[in-house]
Structure formats: C-alpha cells, structure tokens
Amino acid sequence: MSEADCLFCRIVAKEIPADVVHETERTLAFRDIDPQAPTHVLVIPKDHYRDAAALAAADHGLADEVIKAAHAVAEQEGIAGSGYRLVFNTGPQAGQTVFHVHGHVLGGRGLTWPPG
C-alpha cells in the first residue's frame, strides 16, 4: 500500500535515500533531513496512512508497532533514560507537511514546553 507521489513511500521503496537507523517488518525509522535536536528521527509505518488518526483507525496494531519502534530508537540513541519527545503533527495547523504519518523522536537536549 503506497502512493506514487508520497515522499516517505518513496523512501520505503528506496527510490530516495535516507539514513535508516531502525527497521522492522512493518516500520522504518530514519534521520530527519533538517534535525531540530541532537537526535531527530522519523518513525513511520511502511504502509501509507495520511496521519496518526488514519493509522489508529486502521486498528490492526500498527500504531502500537510504530510507538514501540520509536522507543527502540530512543534506546538505541541513548536518550530513553534522559527523556525524549514523540510528536505526531496531525494536520496543517499543527505543522504537518508530509502526509504519510510519522512520529518525530526528538531528544539529546532539554526540550521546552509549550511547543511553538
């Protein structure tokens, strides 16, 4: 399940290179091209869902796998203990620019709250 013009589907298909840091049968994690923190990794399901709501509605455990993969990335990056933020921008006003659901794993520095 992919969309020909979707950037992250093209990364899954290896048509566009990415710095992959973690992979499972149904998930992929790669470094953000414009990192906002010392660790900034994007975790996606390999199948295409436009946002977190669509992923959760699919109701087959895939959202669970994505969150587990995000935590595995945090452990691998050495930030699971110090803390990290897992962000799913959902919709234009939240700043979502790529409409293939992705969790941002951010950490390695103190993160402020509230977000901008």
Mind telling me the catalytic residues?
102
For residue 33, state whether it binds ligand 5GP (rule: CB under 6 A).
yes
**Where does residue 50 rank: exposed (0-12), middle (13-18), buried (19+ CB within 10 A)?**
middle
Please state, in angstroms and as integers, the Cα–Cα distance from residue 79 to each residue in 35, 38, 43, 74, 103, following that order. 15, 10, 15, 5, 16
Q: How far is the CB of 78 from ligand 5GP (least distance, A)?
A: 20
Q: Tell me the window of 20-28, 43-51, 90-98, 108-116 that interacts with ligand 5GP (CB under 6 A).
A: 90-98
Pair 77, 108: CB distance under 8 Å: yes
5 is an interface residue for ligand 5GP by CB under 6 A: no
Does residue 105 bind Zn ion (CB under 5 A)? no
Contact positions vs ligand 5GP (CB under 6 A):
7, 16, 18, 30-34, 42, 89, 95-98
